[in-house]
Structure 1
Amino acid sequence: MKENTCVGVIGLGQMGRGMANSLRRAGFEVHGLDASQAAREACAKDGISLADSLAGLLSRAGIVVLSLPNSDIVRSLIEGPQGLADLARPGTLLIDTTTADPAVMRAVMPVLQRAGVALIDAPVSGGPRGAAAGELTMFIGGSQADLARARDVLSALGSKRFHIGDCGAGYIAKLVNNLLVAAHLLTASEAFRIAEAAGVKTGQLLDAINAGSGRSGVTLYNYPSRILNDAFDSGFTMQLMRKDVRLAQGLMQSVELDLPVCTQVAGIWQDSVASLADQEDFNRIVKFDTNRRG
């Protein structure tokens, strides 16, 4: 068996489970690993093979997809005792779909290089539905050689794949993307409050906005499919978006920029902690009263 026909997926939550199923549909032999019994049971019902251990998964899979909550968990998986850097065979290729802290991952990259393990950073957008359908948008950083090797795996996961630059560029691109989403949700919610107060309902206004220059992904997709219908079911939480906004703010500070709009956006998302629980859908930020911050 060619190694590229066997793929490991570490992290079998909503996103990882969807990705594992998309890979299986594309003809790959998939082996999954997750600490959660519930996640393992759900994937087993889908017909996904489960590895008994990290060592077992790495003995089979030459390409491993990571779908984990944050870069600290990724770093622990790589650098910890009997972690990926210790157990992976030289030549193993990691595809990290985590929305990660670029600084943390820069610290990890030399560890992987010493172990002979290649890394592609490919954070994703599209939520659980996109993962399950194999229709994610992927922000990709890595060498041309590694991308060529991962081409079929990436094609199974994402219908829109953008090679941003060298390893690490994908992490930066995804943070910028999510910061824009966070800002657009705030500006759209305040703009629509102006219209409502002046006597024009958001539903009356939305089609015109989306045909005009004021449109954004938030007005095109989030409002019609998640907000106006009160669904709030994107599968992406307030906690995760707050984390991503903090990471974007940290990136801004690391490059010694002081940008007032980005700082204000980050402050509003942080201030929402008191009134919007971590597990609420991130689109509920439109319900947050920005006049009552703090």
Structure 2
Amino acid sequence: MRVGIIGLGNMGGRIAKRLLTEGFEVGLFDVNETTVRQLVDMGGKSFSTPGELAEEFQYIITILPNVSIVKETLLGEKGLLNRLTEKSLLIEMTSSEPSVTKELNDIMTTNHLRMIDAPVSGGIQKAENGSLAIMVGGKTQDVQEVYPLLQSIGENITHVGEVGSGHTMKALNNLISATTLAATGEAIALGVKLGLDPNRMLDVVNSSTGRSFSSEYKLPNQVLTRDFEVGFTLDLMVKDLKIALGMAEEEKVPMMITGASYQLWKQAWSKGRGPRDHTEIIQHIEEMIDIEIKG
């Protein structure tokens, strides 16, 4: 199978590398020439514009920083829209806004073109070993057509509904993840303030009802070790929270707990932590109560 990838950042670059090692023919486009060269050295083929890439590859993944870049990539002068064919299938993996995804799908459908949305979750390590969670929105036949491709990069692939459903689910998943991380961080920080050992606290939490991905992975591997290497930035987490709460506002659904969590994340973002890893929300909590959680 031949697949083009537009956007070679933390996730896109690793997905491209994974597909190359799995034997796929991979086309590449990104403004970062260094990243492109590294993947070309592994066997990828680079292109000067998204449109040129679309002329050679039937399947195209877009995994970009934000919705504005997605729109420009699809609709811009050198974009995909006028270069795609009826056989093409766009796989939109950006953490994007569901309303915009549906808008773009309407444009695609009007032009007799196809797309699905398939955002991913799991972080850098899972992108490298092909065990991402992928939430997919689109027509069943389109999803089935690229299922072997999705299986090469994901371990848990769930078809959640029509186009736009994948991005809806990604925002809601991150709303839960962000709230859980913040709540767990606050509880562990309070325990440290009261004289408890954070390692032993996590031993108890992880064998009890407070267990979560945050307590099992993020706190032991990033907070206790003080290893806040950038994977998924705080900027991106705040963006996803805003998307999720925006959907709630449109539907007039009150979000008491997650809304309060968002205020904490936005406060950390306002302190300049946006470009850093999202787990630095814990450092923001530490600063507020003047303690440090470490092993």
TM value normalised by structure 2? 0.93
How far the C-alpha of 1:129 sits from its partner, in A, is 2.2
In 1, the alpha carbon distance for the partners of 2:285 and 2:48 equals 48
Alignment match of 2:219 (pick from 220, 223, 236): 223
Which letter maps to 1:239?
Answer: D
Which letter maps to 1:22?
Answer: R
Q: Are 1:143 and 2:139 an aligned pair? A: yes
* Alignment check: 8 A CA contact 1:62 1:93 kept: yes
Change beyond 3 A, Cα 1:88–1:274: same
Q: Are 1:268 and 2:274 an aligned pair? A: no
How far the C-alpha of 1:98 sits from its partner, in A, is 0.8
How far the C-alpha of 1:230 sits from its partner, in A, is 0.7
Structure 1, residues 56-91: CA drift from partner, whole Å, max 9, x if none?
A: 211211110111111221112112224211111122
1:166-185 counterparts in 2 under 5 A? 166-185=162-181
Which letter maps to 1:43?
Answer: L
Q: Are 1:76 and 2:72 an aligned pair? A: yes
* Alignment check: 8 A CA contact 1:92 1:116 kept: no
Q: Are 1:133 and 2:129 an aligned pair? A: yes
Aligned to 2:191: 195
Structure 1, residues 84-124: CA drift from partner, whole Å, max 9, x if none?
A: 11111122101111111111112111111122221111111
Provide the alpha-carbon RMSD of the alignment. Answer: 1.8
How far the C-alpha of 1:47 sits from its partner, in A, is 2.6
1:203 match: secondary structure: helix
In 2, the alpha carbon distance for the partners of 1:291 and 1:33 equals 41
Which letter maps to 1:195?
Answer: G
Alignment match of 1:55 (pick from 51, 57, 80): 51
Change beyond 3 A, Cα 1:276–1:54: closer
Aligned to 2:97: 101
Alignment match of 2:275 (pick from 248, 271, 279): 279
* Alignment check: 8 A CA contact 2:75 2:81 kept: yes
* Alignment check: 8 A CA contact 1:72 1:104 kept: no
1:242 match: secondary structure: helix
Aligned to 2:238: 242
How far the C-alpha of 1:229 sits from its partner, in A, is 0.7
How far the C-alpha of 1:190 sits from its partner, in A, is 1.2
* Alignment check: 8 A CA contact 2:134 2:158 kept: yes
In 2, the alpha carbon distance for the partners of 1:28 and 1:274 equals 42
Q: Are 1:110 and 2:70 an aligned pair? A: no
In 2, the alpha carbon distance for the partners of 1:42 and 1:158 equals 23
1:159 match: secondary structure: strand
Could you tell which deviates more after superposition, 73-82 or 93-102?
73-82
Q: Are 1:43 and 2:39 an aligned pair? A: yes
Structure 1, residues 136-189: CA drift from partner, whole Å, max 9, x if none?
A: 111111111001110111011111111112221111111011111111111111
Change beyond 3 A, Cα 1:9–1:49: same
1:288 match: secondary structure: helix
Change beyond 3 A, Cα 1:186–1:275: same
Q: Structure 2, unaligned stretches of length 5 or more?
A: 290-295
2:48 match: secondary structure: coil
In 2, the alpha carbon distance for the partners of 1:56 and 1:76 equals 15
Aligned to 1:17: 13
- Identity percentage of aligned residues: 28
Structure 1, residues 264-284: CA drift from partner, whole Å, max 9, x if none?
A: 111111111233422211101
Which letter maps to 2:263?
Answer: G
Count of aligned pairs between the two proteins: 289
* Alignment check: 8 A CA contact 1:142 1:166 kept: yes
TM value normalised by structure 1? 0.93
Runs of 4+ deviating beyond 4 Å: 290-293
1:85 match: secondary structure: coil
Q: Structure 1, unaligned stretches of length 5 or more?
A: none
Which letter maps to 2:148?
Answer: D
